[in-house]
Amino acid sequence: MPKFAANLSFMFTELDFLDRFGAARAAGFDAVEFLFPYAYEAEAIAEQLARHELRLVLHNLPPGDWAAGDRGIATDPLRVGEFQDSVGLALDYATTLGVRQLHCLAGVNANGARDTYLDNLRFAASQLARHGMTLLIEPINIFDMPGYFLSGSDQAADIIVDAGMDNLRLQFDMYHVQRMEGELAAAITRHLPLIAHMQLADVPGRHEPGSGSIDYRRLFALIDALGYTGWIGCEYHPLHDTLAGLAWRTALQA
């Protein structure tokens, strides 16, 4: 069966962030992920992970100024220094939290440049490699995030190949790929050698599996058959109550 990690930026949001770790453990999760840790002291998050015997499997590099509309700065040639500083901050947190994978948001800026993106990915991957960590990139659909630079799974695969870094891999979010491309089973099969992390949500609505049109029972069986051993992050907005919505794990034989 696939291994599922609770995304604490989406689940148990009725609780304060540091209280969500205990809720995830009580709900039966062995691992968690979240978008950004930077509003909290790394030691406070590490204490929650240790107390509840949870593994942190993923968080993002700093995105720039999220409130101002930044969704990553890795493609912006005017902010290379800022990007490099952000990698250092992410590594400070990652080493304290024991996470082995960091996701790099590409950005939605009008100055987006592929060559800058490749250079920044090479820089970040080389810094993470010193700590035995993997850098991830994720295609994100342009309906939820208009203008996002990286929106297709084949585009992401080409970037990974062109960057030429052994520790640069694909974060495959089934919700985003379904919205942009469909044919999830074919895309997973095609890109499996590059995939180091997966995420899920149903379409439409970005709610829990079983709430929409994606055949997750079939996909979970395929993922197992293909031999994927990584985590699948539950990055969805619960339709109602988080705990009630987790019935999909039993209903879909997950």
Amino acid at 135: L
Is 83:60 a contact under the CB 8 Å cutoff?
no
Burial of 33 (0-12, 13-18, 19+ CB in 10 A): buried
Beta 101-103 vs 168-173: how paired, if at all?
unpaired
Local structure of 168: helix, strand or coil: strand
Residue 235 annotated among the catalytic residues of the structure: yes
Is 231:198 a contact under the CB 8 Å cutoff?
yes
Residue 82 annotated among the catalytic residues of the structure: no
Residue of 14, 53, 82, 235 with catalytic role: 235
- In whole angstroms, what is the distance from residue 244 CA to residue 182 CA? 28
Residue 90 Rama label (left phi>0; alpha psi -120 to 50; beta): alpha
Q: Rounded to the nearest 5°, which phi and psi values hold at 95?
A: -70, -35
Residue of 41, 53, 138, 208 with catalytic role: 138
Q: Which residues are catalytic?
A: 138, 235
